[in-house]
Amino acid sequence: MNERILVVEDETPIAEAVGYALREAGYDVDTLADGDAALSAARQRPYDLMVLDLMLPGLPGLDVCRAVRAESDLPIVMLTARDGELDRVLGLEVGADDYVTKPFSVAELVSRVRALLRRRALDRANGGSVQRIGGLELDVAHHAASLGGKPLTLTRSEFRLVTLLASEPGRVFTREELVRHLWDSDFSGDRRAIDVHMSNLRRKLEDDPRNPRRLQTVRGLGYRLVGGDSATEA
Ligand code: CA
């Protein structure tokens, strides 16, 4: 059975091009042009992923995304017009899994969609393992994270990144490796998105995000995760 994707975009040429490309890639696609309709469809139909434009008639894309995220872990790729929206779009408040900035290539969007669906399948297949580092605990099967026994709310991308870092504590992962891990491709752009995710993660993992003890930047190289008790080993 094909995976089913909901495309929400009021600009007909874009909606048609995206729908066509996704069908060509083997997915079933429904297209809607309105935010309110999108929200009720997402609630009623068992979609595997949603491609969601930010600017919509009716309920705005950010509100649709926030509402869906509050109710389910449906993967969501946002179509945005400006990089300036990234912090919000990828942040916990809105909680999109990924984004492309208009104008985008349809091929790039399809590869993002494919990567997200593959990630989800991998996450399910990897179920069962629990990673612990310092006071941080990551339960892959249940997509649950806690710090010092207190539950943490992480987006899917944040969870996936921190799980990779925790798989080899202390090892420095380059932005390229992190990009590849997040998108299952060698797509070289979007190191900026990695930095956004890391900054969001720090706000959740660190007592003082400006002086991180767990999630450390190694200048010129990348990021690493350490236990956090042995403070300044950077
Ligand atoms: Ca639009």
CATH number of 128-225: 1.10.10.10
CATH class of the 4-123 domain in this structure: alpha beta
Q: Tell me, what DSSP letter sits at residue 171?
A: P
Q: Give the model's pLDDT for residue 34.
A: 95
Look up the pTM and report it: 0.66
- Which chain residues have CB less than 5 Å from ligand 1, an ion? 10, 53, 55
Ligand 1 mean position, distance from CA 21 (Å): 18
Pairing status of strand 4-8 against strand 49-53: parallel
Question: Is 118 in contact with 112 (CB distance < 8 Å)?
Answer: no
Ligand 1 mean position, distance from CA 78 (Å): 11
Ligand 1 mean position, distance from CA 137 (Å): 40
Ligand 1 mean position, distance from CA 200 (Å): 27
- Looking at residue 224, its amino acid is R
Ligand 1 mean position, distance from CA 151 (Å): 36
Place of tokens 């207190």: 150
Q: Give the model's pLDDT for residue 232.
A: 40
Q: Give the model's pLDDT for residue 156.
A: 84
> What 3-state class would DSSP assign to 135?
coil
**Residue numbers of the chain with a pLDDT score lower than 70:** 91-92, 124-128, 184-189, 229-234
Give dist(CA 103, CA 139) in Å, integer.
Answer: 37
Question: Is 218 in contact with 228 (CB distance < 8 Å)?
Answer: no
Give domain limits for the chain.
Answer: 4-123, 128-225
Whether residue 103 is preceded by a cis peptide bond, meaning omega within 30 degrees of 0, is: yes
Q: Would residue 120 be called left, alpha or beta, if left means φ above 0 and alpha means ψ between -120 and 50 degrees?
A: alpha
- 166 contact partners, CB below 8 Å, separation of at least 6: 131, 133, 136, 138, 225
